[in-house]
Amino acid sequence: MKYAAQIDSLLPHRPPFRFVDELVEVSGERGEFCLCLAADDPRLLEGAMSPVLLVEALAQSAAAYQHSRITGESHRGLLASIDSARFFGAARGGERVQLLIRRDRSYGAFVRFSGTATQGPRPLAEAEFTVCYLSDTAVTDA
């Protein structure tokens, strides 16, 4: 419950469209999050989640990471581009997916992230993507 409240404070997304359940650790330019899939999760198709949705999970993880470092009342990030993505396998019901993101570069309002989704030692997906942050955002190095 405490993890849901924590993520609720970092993301505007709500189930079933929220693909991040827990903030594990944020340190420097890296963030670790997880997605916990129940066996009967309604987002599963034939027991598995499309790997493409893991890119959304990584993007939401990046948003949660960035918002954990932002001060100020008004901030809004929009996924501007997916620069590359590779898929290795699907996440299945009952699994805990580890979402690792890294803030790579920023330029003006745009921030480039890279991320990997894994289930234990099994790689599921990796992607590089860019988020655009709208105005009225003050970013601090927390």
Stretch that binds another protein, among 21-29, 31-39, 43-51, 108-116 (CB under 8 A): 108-116
Place of tokens 């590779």: 86
Please report whether residue 141 would count as binding another protein according to CB under 8 A: no
- In the bound complex, what is the minimum distance in angstroms from residue 20's beta carbon to another protein? 24
How does 27-60 read in b/e, with b if 16+ C-beta sit within 10 Å? eeeebbbbbebeeebebbeeeebebebbbbbbbb
- In the bound complex, what is the minimum distance in angstroms from residue 107's beta carbon to another protein? 4
Please report whether residue 130 would count as binding another protein according to CB under 8 A: yes
Stretch that binds another protein, among 38-46, 66-74, 109-117, 133-141 (CB under 8 A): 109-117
Binder among 9, 71, 74, 81 for another protein (CB under 8 A): 81
3-class secondary-structure state, position 88: coil
Place of tokens 């927390």: 142
Please report whether residue 109 would count as binding another protein according to CB under 8 A: yes
Binder among 60, 112, 117, 118 for another protein (CB under 8 A): 112
**Which one-letter DSSP state was computed for residue 44?**
-
Place of tokens 């499309």: 50
**How many CA within 13 A on the CB side of residue 38?**
7
**How many CA within 13 A on the CB side of residue 129?**
26
- In the bound complex, what is the minimum distance in angstroms from residue 135's beta carbon to another protein? 13
Residues that bind another protein (CB under 8 A): 80-81, 83, 104-110, 112, 130, 132
